[in-house]
Amino acid sequence: MNELFIRVVRKKLSYQFKDNMNVKDDWYINDKNNMLDDFHFYVDEAIIFSAKVQTVANIPNGRHTDTIIPGSFGIKCFIGEGPHGDPRNFYGRIHGIIDTYDMDGQKISENSTEPLPGKNGAPEDFTRWLVHDLQKHKPEKEGIDTRVAWSAGCFIMSDHNLKALGDILDAYKIMPGNIINCELVEE
């Protein structure tokens, strides 16, 4: 009956994104063991799409505990599209990671955000969890990729794979805002 499901398999080695985890973050140090994890898209029980992804927050001077914990979550499809779209400065067709927690135990909402507390309890900022590609963000020129996949908690795949995933979702008539059930496991 065309049950869609995504399983992300994180390799424990992905947590070792530096040769020495005790040294200061740097753009030329935080690039070890990049994109080792697997993203499998199932229809019924058959894998119809697989891609390598970066799932561990490795961006220099970021909060590495923004990494999504193992367990169930959802992917809200095509969040940059539709009447209530949120382009978020990406070129590729992005998706939101929702209804899960990061390693700090903070909830990622149905909007793919986690409010950071500010003064008097009001949100100061919102961090975002997305599925996106390697392209540099706008206003950089389209088609220019980063040297490695830099994650601030997002799942990052190649430009080609993000497009292929979007094409498959289109073929199954998945609309902006539709949610696919997912799980993240570690091995």
Overall average pLDDT of the 108-131 stretch: 68
Overall average pLDDT of the 122-143 stretch: 75
Are 50 and 44 spatial neighbours (Cβ–Cβ below 8 Å)?
no
List the domain range (segments joined by +) for residue 125: 4-186
**Residue 90 binned pLDDT confidence (cut-offs 50, 70, 90):** confident
Overall average pLDDT of the 51-63 stretch: 94
State the pLDDT at residue 109: 81
State the pLDDT at residue 165: 97
Query: How many degrees, rounded to 5, is the angle at CA 103 between CA 84 and CA 130?
Result: 25
pLDDT tops 60 at residue 126 = no
Q: Indicate the number of domains in the chain.
A: 1
Overall average pLDDT of the 168-175 stretch: 95
Burial class (CB in 10 A: 0-12, 13-18, 19+), 143: exposed
Neighbours of 174 (CB within 10 A): 18
State the pLDDT at residue 135: 83
State the pLDDT at residue 85: 56
Q: Is the pTM of this model over 0.75?
A: yes
pLDDT tops 80 at residue 88 = no
State the pLDDT at residue 141: 83
Residues 6+ apart with CB under 8 A from 50: 38, 39, 40, 41
DSSP-derived letter for residue 162 is H
Residues 6+ apart with CB under 8 A from 109: 98, 99
Query: Would you state the structure tokens that stand for residue 74, as one six-digit string?
Result: 């959802």
DSSP-derived letter for residue 8 is E
